[in-house]
Structure 1
Amino acid sequence: MEYVNTKTKIDYLIHICTAIMISSFIIFDMDYRVSYILLGMTILIFGLLALRNNFKIVVKIDSFHKYILAFIAFAACSSIWSYNYNLAMRKALTILEILICMSVLYIYYSRYNSLSDLYTILMVSGFIVTIYSFYRYGIATIFLVLGRGDRLEDIFSNVNSIAMIISVAIITYIYKVLFEKMKIFSTGLCSCLAIMGIIVIAATGSRKALVMLILGGFLLFAIRFKSSSFLITVLKVLIIILIMYYILSQLRNVEMFKGIVDRMDGLIAMVTGKGTVDDSASTRAEFITIGIEKFKKHPILGYGMGNSGKVLADVIGGKETYFHNNYVELLVCGGLVGTIIYYMIWLKPIKEILIYRKYDTTAILSIIMATILLAMDYGLVTYFDKLNYFYIMIMYICAKNLRRKRDESKESF
């Protein structure tokens, strides 16, 4: 297969279109036209890709497609035993549509020697959402909410989704500062955008995004400053922990972060059993308990993909909702079989990235991203999320690039 090493103007156009597409997942999340926007951007990128390759496009079914298609097939089959046939088929079709979109990106970006461009696009997408958040909510509203210790409302997307893509952008920026050489202007601009992003995260009150940012930042600094000496490495890690602890403890004295710090206290109280547990945390804990009990009744195949709302409604009544936990959601809806099939999608590239990680520093960011995203599945339902499959695509491309670099290294000897 031919790999691209030089960029043309068309390549930069594709990068711009990809950044617009990824940011639109959040910006137009609550707009009924999001499907048309996704379709339009996919067609545009495919057209540019065709033009870039002189209208010669080779479509190859890789592991990326096979593993996701296996999960789509399971979701479709689960309609046979599900509560509601349409819900299961709708989930299967949704994931199929996402796969088609991501396949266009996969064809293009898997031909590059480095993931640097893709991670730059991910960073830019998060910063676009940051700027749009300031525009849509207004600077006055954001700081008013921060002053009251409240949370922004879900105006154009779920506030957790907004905060999390911004958190991913900041983590990517930290990686580029620590492991790649950024130009002074780019570093300054991104630093300003990162500060704006932190303000938006605080205004959303998203505990998930804050945990992502803390965990991602810690892992990046710990890896960057590790030493060949185990004792020195431990000492450096302890210093990083102390610095981060000091910074976080000081946030309590900043009025801007009062709301998100209070919400974190509620989450910590639920884990430790000490303090006041907020309603959101206790409700999610209740959902997990219900989900585990339901899973025990149908442990093999579950109740059918997309049927969590029906299952929960049988217990708690009221409006249908989901379990707010991807692991529990999959166990209830897909049983052990569906859960294993889905997480094999993740485990396949992660295994290869770990094995071949020494061949490119982007493996560091990929491993950290995978760790954070899988940890966040404890508080999110992501198996049918568009952005989730973009992250998965990055993992497969990273694994593919590392394998190729391993082969090139062997040939050079």
Structure 2
Amino acid sequence: MGEKKLKVKISIFLDIAFCIFFAIASNSDWMSNPIVWWGSIALIFVVQFIIYGGKLNFPISKYKIWAALFLMTCMFSLVYSINKNDSINVIKTLIVLALVMIYVESELNDYYSIEKMMSLYVIGIGITLLYVLLTQDMQQFQLAIVGEGNTGRWNGNDIGMNAAVCVTMIIYLFPRMKSRFIRIYYLVIGASSFYLMYWMGSRKTIVFFVLAICGIILLRQPKKIVRNLIIVICIMTVSWSLVMEVPALYKNVGWRLEALTASVTGKGTVDSSTLLREKYIKVGKEAFKKSPIIGYGINSYREINKFKTGHETYSHNNFVEIAVGLGLIGLIAYYWLYAYLLFCYLKLLIHRKVTFVTSFLFVLFILYLFTQVGLVVYDGLVQWMLLLLLFKAIGLDSK
């Protein structure tokens, strides 16, 4: 019993190692430093080895199979990639994410451990959000919306989505957290997240957050459907009114939501950012038609886009990015796990065997899936974490 308690106390060092990795993996400046980046990865391996003597809980799971199949598809694409250096760079990131997730998965044995890992993730990402607030010029992100700002290594959409996911997790975790210090930290990070969401001016971020809150309300007590729908309608109405009527909010994101609506309905003025992204999608579709089965190599879209438009940038669409890079084979290799998780969750929901933590993670998962029409996420920490946490939660519910 004493040895077990000692191991539990020592395991806090592994928690710290995970927090450090989450912070560095979400920080564009720190990631660019090889010593810091590889050091954070090595720290997890070393600490885990010291605590468990090299023993690793390594059951074969569908998540690991998904990661392995997608990685193999990416590595095979090196054979025919039109830009091998770009392909190699993203494959290295994917390998790191896959390895770290193996260690994360080994720690997820019950609902408590899932909530604990969510808390560690929030703490780590929170460090990055505070770093952005203290070191970056917010005005540059505003200017970047119209293509005039210089944000260096940072991407406003990435920061905004990290903030939106972080504050949504805080809303779930806050009532469950007993530590006063962590609660204060949550409040600081929550306030910082709202501030950053405002300055980033990302419509995806705002829509994600509002719909996440609505989804949580609908699934928290699904039997009270009428009451929940009334609350959701009120939240969406008030949110839309605030964004459109409050001058500061309209200036940052309201007009962009109007432009997005115009793009969907065909009525109104579409902003230059939306038009440019539509052009990128068109470039991707044309490229996909010429090589629909295997694509042009992972992370090769930017090379094709540079030739077609003069802009050496990614497609801003996860589906297009994978379709161009890996073709139909890549789309299946990547998205089959999404279909599996969706099927498993709906099955549990129908049989009323789903827990609230699973429903919460499913809301984040499904909304993040929809944001992929405007984001490239296949090599991002957020997506790999959400998939793993939901996968483990569904597994526990199934038992």
The one-letter code sitting in structure 2 at the alignment partner of 1:56 is K
Pairing 1:9–2:1 present = no
Q: TM-score, normalised by structure 2?
A: 0.86
Question: Structure 1: which 5+ runs fail to align?
Answer: 407-413
2:141·2:151 contact (CA, 8 Å) conserved in 1? no
Distance (Å, rounded) in 1 between the aligned partners of 2:97 and 2:323: 22
2:196 equivalent in structure 1: 200
Distance (Å, rounded) in 2 between the aligned partners of 1:144 and 1:38: 26
Please state how far the C-alpha of 1:268 moved relative to its aligned partner.
1.8
The one-letter code sitting in structure 2 at the alignment partner of 1:245 is T
Pairing 1:300–2:299 present = no
2:107·2:113 contact (CA, 8 Å) conserved in 1? no
Q: Structure 1 residue aligned with 2:391, among 378, 386, 396?
A: 396
Deviations 1:337-379 (A, max 9, x none): 1101111233334443444462532111221111011111111
Please state how far the C-alpha of 1:327 moved relative to its aligned partner.
0.5
1:263 equivalent in structure 2: 256
The one-letter code sitting in structure 2 at the alignment partner of 1:320 is E
2:104 equivalent in structure 1: 105
SS in structure 2 of the partner of residue 377 of structure 1: helix
Deviations 1:352-408 (A, max 9, x none): 3444462532111221111011111111112222443233332333234334xx1xx
% same residue: 24
Please state how far the C-alpha of 1:144 moved relative to its aligned partner.
10
Distance (Å, rounded) in 2 between the aligned partners of 1:325 and 1:277: 18
| Alignment CA distance shift 1:12-1:320 (3 Å) | same
| Alignment CA distance shift 1:22-1:30 (3 Å) | closer
| Alignment CA distance shift 1:30-1:260 (3 Å) | farther
SS in structure 2 of the partner of residue 82 of structure 1: coil
The one-letter code sitting in structure 1 at the alignment partner of 2:299 is G
1:25·1:387 contact (CA, 8 Å) conserved in 2? no
Please state how far the C-alpha of 1:9 moved relative to its aligned partner.
2.5
1:110·1:400 contact (CA, 8 Å) conserved in 2? no
Distance (Å, rounded) in 2 between the aligned partners of 1:63 and 1:342: 12
The one-letter code sitting in structure 2 at the alignment partner of 1:159 is G
Distance (Å, rounded) in 2 between the aligned partners of 1:13 and 1:350: 35
1:303·1:334 contact (CA, 8 Å) conserved in 2? yes
| Alignment CA distance shift 1:132-1:226 (3 Å) | same
Q: Structure 2 residue aligned with 1:375, among 367, 370, 377?
A: 370
Deviations 1:104-146 (A, max 9, x none): 2222335775411111122223332332222113xxx548988
SS in structure 1 of the partner of residue 11 of structure 2: helix
Pairing 1:172–2:172 present = no
1:221 equivalent in structure 2: 217
Distance (Å, rounded) in 1 between the aligned partners of 2:5 and 2:229: 37
Deviations 1:222-280 (A, max 9, x none): 2224335xxxx134313322233124312444444221222222222211222221111
1:18 equivalent in structure 2: 18
Distance (Å, rounded) in 2 between the aligned partners of 1:397 and 1:299: 33
2:292·2:328 contact (CA, 8 Å) conserved in 1? yes
Question: Structure 2: which 5+ runs fail to align?
Answer: none
Cα RMSD between the aligned structures? 3.1
Distance (Å, rounded) in 2 between the aligned partners of 1:332 and 1:97: 23
| Alignment CA distance shift 1:42-1:402 (3 Å) | farther
Distance (Å, rounded) in 2 between the aligned partners of 1:130 and 1:256: 22
Please state how far the C-alpha of 1:29 moved relative to its aligned partner.
4.5
Q: Structure 1 residue aligned with 2:151, among 148, 151, 154?
A: 154
1:234 equivalent in structure 2: 226
Please state how far the C-alpha of 1:15 moved relative to its aligned partner.
2.0
| Alignment CA distance shift 1:344-1:37 (3 Å) | farther
Q: Which is worse superposed, 352-361 or 283-292?
A: 352-361
Deviations 1:134-167 (A, max 9, x none): 2113xxx5489889x9897524521211111110
SS in structure 2 of the partner of residue 83 of structure 1: coil
Q: TM-score, normalised by structure 1?
A: 0.83
Q: Structure 2 residue aligned with 1:362, among 329, 347, 357?
A: 357
1:142·1:152 contact (CA, 8 Å) conserved in 2? no
Count residues in correspondence: 390
SS in structure 2 of the partner of residue 115 of structure 1: helix
Deviations 1:157-183 (A, max 9, x none): 212111111100111122235xx5444
Please state how far the C-alpha of 1:55 moved relative to its aligned partner.
4.4
